[in-house]
């Protein structure tokens, strides 16, 4: 089988050299020795591989005999030891590709070694100093990957014409790991060695320039006119990234272009400009000769003097632009400049529907542009922005997203912009516009709701943060009751008192329904919130709500409330609620308040409550009967909580009905000092699925399963079966006297863990377990 092998990869393998003798067909071999390993393979043993074409060696100590591998065409070396390498390399006359990128060269690279490799076409080097560079070293190379760390190259040094190249000249840091996406790439940091790279500029595809501290370059192209025409450079560029060039004022500049010249910048796909403090213009080029038809990604950051990105004509050519990111451009007034020299020619072009700006735009991010007053001109923006994600943040002077010009027809017309997602943060001047748009996802922060009340009609996911001066969402947001919203998050809206105020809408012909499709509601840091609904809930209010989370709402006293009996045909609110989480709601007194059977919680599975200091009870008897799917209850730090299940209020007509929580698996109570028992004994009989019961730090707790109203011994059962209970943990319960009422025996056949800690008044635990317990942990501490 080894005789047929053509490719072999070995890592840290201690093998005998004789193993290669039968691999006569081997063409590709990779040998890696992990540092510190005792594994060793001598290159002398590879002499028998007469068909070997490609060899990769990592962390080898000895390169003697490498020159015997005369059939090698590709050689890649990794590591730091170079002893004997110079002489051995020179003997590989058939070598076409040599890769020493990560070899860690510390030796003076001898030019004569490369010259002796007469068939060498591709070379990868890194770490060379300028004194090692000479024109002869790359004489026959057609493909080159090179990293040079020197500040200066020899004055007479000149790169040859190369088919493909990846060159990094960086005086400040290593660029071993630079990633180049195009076939011909040049990255320079700190200096632009025009003489050395002049031969490369004619077919350059990717250019990255950074950190020019002097005035060597004022414009990217005005120093390149001596040997290579500017037009040739601008025709081939696909990527341009410029950052940290303090004196750069114009990026692309050319005053005169021949009539028969090809379109400039027609291949440019990516343009990134960053930290250019003097940049005032991106392009100073003849409009009729420029086509940005390939531009896909444009990113502008920290260019404080830039006033606009495009002229009117230029803005019509990026027909495939997908992402536009603008940040920290303090003097930016317009994305597209309004005025241009030849207004007559421009206006006739703009009237064509085919020339609308950015028809393929999918994401637009704008932040910290204090001078910006609007985003789009309606005469230029596409009629539909389907799928666009629009994110606007910290633009202090922004007044409108879509600006209508002087055309009276446009002022009267309402345009619809259909967005995928819309986010606006801290734009205090943003006002209502005659141009309306819709977004499936909307995030609004520190903006008046009135500015967007028409924009929420089709929103499915809505997040409002620090909304100012608004007291309720309906009808402030719109008059449709926000019935299309499925997810709503409210954060830090200090003036918001409720979601719906029916006491106001009743007198104003407001919506008859509200939030009918809402599934997720999260309310956080809403210090002024007093109720979800002020007045009688409207039709269908929260009927589809599945997840409710309330955090840090200091004025909220009740979650759900009906002021009078539900009408015969009115649906139960919260009947689809699956999870209920209430954290840090100090004034909460009732979770659900209203006449019996106003609410039903038939879908509720999870209840988590923490630090609701005024809450006295959780569920009324009618609610208990609806908790068919409840699986988990966790209550923490509710000091006034007296009972979880208020069975003492059972009406006479329902008192005979059995109470049951058939799906309850986990019940955890911590730091509820007023609680005297956890579960009433008549409900305890209906807990067939209870698997984990944990109670701790409840100072007044006397029994885990108790008899309410001091009816101990009355109408009790002799035994209590907890068939699924596996874990019981009781900790720091200073007044606990018993697990169940007197004369009750608790049967827990599945019990595996029993922990009792610091319960000094407990004398015995009448719990019967099965004889085949797998694990039982019992810790009892009496003080």
Question: For residue range 115-141, what is the model confidence (pLDDT) as tens digits?
Answer: 778 888 888 877 665 455 566 667 678
Q: Is the pLDDT of residue 690 over 70?
A: yes
Length of the chain: 783
Report the C-alpha gap between 110 and 123 in whole angstroms.
Answer: 14
Task: Give the per-residue pLDDT at 777.
Answer: 56
Mean pLDDT, rounded, of the chain:
80
Task: Give the per-residue pLDDT at 345.
Answer: 41
Q: What angle do CA 756, 757, 760 make, to 5 degrees?
A: 100
- Which is higher by pLDDT, 624 or 653? 624
Residue 677 buriedness (CB in 10 A; 0-12 / 13-18 / 19+) = buried
2 contact partners, CB below 8 Å, separation of at least 6: 19, 22, 23
- Whose CA is closest to 263, among 239, 282, 291, 287? 291
Task: Give the per-residue pLDDT at 130.
Answer: 47
Residue 200 buriedness (CB in 10 A; 0-12 / 13-18 / 19+) = buried
Q: Any idea which of 413-427, 484-498, 744-758 has the lowest mean pLDDT?
A: 413-427
What residues are paired with 667 via a beta bridge? 633, 693
Of 210-219, 690-699, 739-748, where does the model show the most confidence?
690-699
Question: For residue range 556-613, what is the model confidence (pLDDT) as tens digits?
Answer: 998 877 555 545 555 677 889 999 999 999 999 988 887 767 778 899 999 999 999 9
Mean of the pLDDT values across residues 405-417?
48
Task: Give the per-residue pLDDT at 402.
Answer: 77
Q: Any idea which of 159-168, 202-211, 500-509 has the lowest mean pLDDT?
A: 500-509
Distances (CA, A) of 260 to 224, 257, 767: 21, 8, 97
- Whose CA is closest to 664, among 679, 675, 651, 677? 679
Report the C-alpha gap between 518 and 746 in whole angstroms.
Answer: 44
Task: Give the per-residue pLDDT at 225.
Answer: 47
Specify the 3-state DSSP secondary structure of 75.
strand
Q: Which residue has the tokens 């998050």?
A: 489
- Which is higher by pLDDT, 712 or 8? 8
Of 337-351, 408-422, 513-527, 529-543, where does the model show the most confidence?
513-527
Provide the 8-state DSSP code for 353. G
Task: Give the per-residue pLDDT at 352.
Answer: 44
Task: Give the per-residue pLDDT at 586.
Answer: 94
Specify the 3-state DSSP secondary structure of 157.
coil
Specify the 3-state DSSP secondary structure of 341.
coil
Q: What angle do CA 716, 718, 720 make, to 5 degrees?
A: 90
Question: For residue range 617-627, what is the model confidence (pLDDT) as tens digits?
Answer: 998 888 888 89
Report the C-alpha gap between 764 and 754 in whole angstroms.
Answer: 13
Report the C-alpha gap between 294 and 320 in whole angstroms.
Answer: 6
Q: Is the pLDDT of residue 17 over 90?
A: no
Q: Is the pLDDT of residue 327 over 90?
A: yes
Q: Is the pLDDT of residue 658 over 80?
A: no
Task: Give the per-residue pLDDT at 118.
Answer: 82
Look up residue 93 and give its two tokens: 């006359």
Q: Is the pLDDT of residue 686 over 60?
A: yes
- When pLDDT is cut at 50, 70 and 90, the band that residue 305 belongs to is very high
- When pLDDT is cut at 50, 70 and 90, the band that residue 552 belongs to is very high
What residues are paired with 391 via a beta bridge? 365, 423
Mean of the pLDDT values across residues 736-757?
88
Distances (CA, A) of 611 to 555, 614, 640: 14, 9, 10
Question: For residue range 62-121, what is the model confidence (pLDDT) as tens digits?
Answer: 788 888 898 999 999 887 666 677 778 888 889 999 888 776 555 555 666 777 788 888
> Phi and psi for 146 in degrees, rounded to 5?
-145, 135
Task: Give the per-residue pLDDT at 656.
Answer: 52
- Which is higher by pLDDT, 109 or 534? 534
Q: Is the pLDDT of residue 434 over 60?
A: no
Cis peptide before 45 (omega within 30 of 0): no
Task: Give the per-residue pLDDT at 548.
Answer: 96
- When pLDDT is cut at 50, 70 and 90, the band that residue 412 belongs to is very low
Distances (CA, A) of 140 to 92, 166, 194: 16, 16, 22
Q: Any idea which of 277-281, 395-399, 401-405 has the lowest mean pLDDT?
A: 401-405
Query: What are the helix (H) ranges across 98-246?
Result: 111-116, 194-197, 230-236
What residues are paired with 364 via a beta bridge? 324, 390
- Whose CA is closest to 529, among 502, 509, 507, 501? 501
CB 559 within 8 A of CB 548: yes
Report the C-alpha gap between 675 and 659 in whole angstroms.
Answer: 20
- Whose CA is closest to 690, among 750, 604, 762? 750
Task: Give the per-residue pLDDT at 282.
Answer: 93
Q: pLDDT above 90 covers what percent of the chain?
A: 30
Cross-sheet strand order for the sheet of 472-474: 472-474, 498-501, 533-534
Q: Any idea which of 111-125, 319-333, 701-715 has the lowest mean pLDDT?
A: 701-715
Residue 122 Cα to chain centre, angstroms = 40
607 contact partners, CB below 8 Å, separation of at least 6: 579, 580, 581, 618, 630, 632, 633, 634, 635
Task: Give the per-residue pLDDT at 134.
Answer: 61
Four-residue CA torsion sign, 772, 633, 668, 742: negative
Task: Give the per-residue pLDDT at 367.
Answer: 97
- Which is higher by pLDDT, 203 or 550? 550
Look up residue 344 and give its two tokens: 């007559």
Question: For residue range 230-243, what is the model confidence (pLDDT) as tens digits?
Answer: 777 888 899 999 99
DSSP labels, 442-494: EEEESS-GGGTTTT-TT-SEEEEES--S--EEETTT-TTTTTT-SEEEEE--T
Mean of the pLDDT values across residues 448-464?
79
Provide the 8-state DSSP code for 649. G
Q: Any idea which of 109-113, 197-201, 297-301, 463-467 has the lowest mean pLDDT?
A: 109-113
């Amino acid at each position: 089988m080894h005789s047929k092998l053509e490719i072999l990869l070995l890592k840290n393998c201690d093998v005998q050299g004789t193993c290669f003798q039968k691999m006569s067909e081997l063409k590709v071999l990779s040998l890696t020795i992990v540092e510190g390993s005792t594994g060793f393979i001598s290159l002398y043993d590879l002499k028998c591989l007469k068909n070997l074409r490609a060899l990769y060696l990592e962390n080898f100590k000895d390169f003697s005999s490498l020159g015997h591998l005369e059939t090698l065409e590709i050689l890649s070396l990794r590591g730091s030891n170079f002893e004997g390498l110079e002489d051995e390399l020179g003997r590989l006359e058939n070598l076409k590709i040599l890769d020493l990128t990560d070899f860690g060269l510390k030796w003076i690279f001898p030019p004569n070694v490369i010259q002796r490799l007469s068939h060498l076409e591709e070379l990868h080097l890194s770490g060379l100093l300028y004194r090692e560079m000479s024109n002869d070293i790359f004489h026959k190379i057609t493909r080159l990957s090179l990293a040079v760390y020197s500040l200066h190259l020899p004055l007479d040094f000149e790169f040859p014409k190369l088919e493909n190249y990846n060159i990094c000249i960086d005086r400040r840091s290593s660029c071993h790991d630079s990633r180049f996406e195009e076939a011909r790439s040049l990255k320079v940091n700190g200096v632009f060695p025009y003489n050395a790279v002049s031969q490369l500029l004619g077919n350059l595809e990717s250019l990255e320039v950074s950190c020019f501290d002097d005035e060597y370059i004022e414009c990217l192209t005005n120093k390149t006119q001596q040997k290579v025409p500017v037009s040739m450079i601008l025709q081939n560029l696909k990527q341009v990234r410029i950052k940290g060039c303090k004196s750069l004022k114009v990026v692309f500049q050319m005053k005169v272009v021949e009539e028969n010249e090809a379109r400039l910048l027609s291949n440019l796909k990516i343009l990134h400009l960053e930290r250019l403090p003097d940049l005032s213009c991106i392009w100073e080029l003849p409009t009729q000769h420029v086509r940005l038809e390939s531009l896909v990604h444009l990113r502008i950051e920290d260019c404080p003097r830039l006033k606009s990105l495009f002229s009117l004509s230029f803005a019509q050519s990026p027909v495939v632009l997908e992402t536009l990111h603008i940040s920290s451009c303090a003097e930016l007034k317009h994305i597209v400049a309004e005025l241009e020299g030849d207004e007559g020619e421009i206006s006739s072009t703009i009237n064509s529907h085919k020339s609308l700006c950015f028809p393929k735009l999918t994401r637009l991010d704008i932040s910290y542009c204090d001078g910006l007053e609007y985003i789009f001109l309606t005469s230029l923006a596409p009629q539909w922005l389907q799928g666009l994600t629009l994110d606007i943040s910290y633009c202090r002077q922004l007044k409108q997203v879509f600006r209508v010009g002087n055309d009276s027809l446009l002022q009267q017309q309402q345009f619809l912009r259909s967005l995928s997602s819309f986010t606006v943060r801290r734009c205090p001047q943003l006002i209502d516009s005659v141009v309306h748009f819709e977004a499936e996802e909307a995030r609004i922060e520190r903006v008046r709701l009135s500015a967007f009340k028409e924009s929420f009609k089709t929103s499915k996911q809505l997040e409002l943060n620090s909304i100012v001066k608004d007291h309720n969402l309906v009808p402030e947001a719109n008059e449709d009751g926000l019935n299309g919203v499925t997810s709503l998050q409210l954060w830090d809206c200090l003036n918001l008192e409720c979601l719906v105020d029916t006491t106001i809408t009743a007198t104003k012909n407001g919506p008859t329904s509200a939030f009918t499709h809402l599934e997720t509601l999260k309310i956080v840091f809403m210090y002024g919130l007093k109720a979800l609904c002020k007045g009688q809930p409207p039709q269908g209010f929260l009927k589809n709500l599945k997840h409710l989370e309330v955090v840090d709402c200091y004025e909220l006293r009740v979650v759900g409330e009906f002021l009078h009996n539900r009408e015969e045909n009115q649906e139960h609110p919260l009947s689809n609620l699956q999870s209920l989480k209430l954290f840090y709601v100090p004034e909460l007194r009732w979770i659900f308040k209203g006449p019996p059977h106003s609410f039903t919680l038939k879908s509720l599975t999870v209840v988590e409550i923490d630090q609701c200091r005024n809450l006295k009870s959780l569920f009324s008897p009618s609610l208990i009967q609806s908790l068919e799917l409840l699986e988990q209850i966790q209550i923490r730090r509710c000091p006034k909580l007296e009972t979880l299940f208020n069975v003492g209020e059972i009406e006479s007509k329902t008192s005979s009905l059995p109470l049951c929580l058939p799906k309850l698996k986990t019940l955890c109570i911590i730091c509820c000092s007023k609680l005297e028992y956890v579960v009433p004994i008549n409900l305890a009989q209906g807990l067939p699925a209870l698997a984990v019961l944990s109670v701790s730090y409840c100072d007044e707790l006397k029994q885990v399963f108790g008899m309410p109203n001091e009816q101990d011994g009355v109408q009790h059962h002799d035994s209590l079966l907890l068939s699924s209970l596996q874990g019981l943990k009781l900790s720091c319960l200073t007044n606990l006297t018993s697990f169940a009422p007197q004369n009750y025996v608790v049967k827990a056949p599945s019990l595996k863990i029993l922990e009792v800690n610091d319960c000094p008044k407990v004398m015995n635990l009448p719990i019967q377990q099965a004889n085949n317990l797998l694990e039982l942990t019992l810790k009892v501490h009496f003080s």
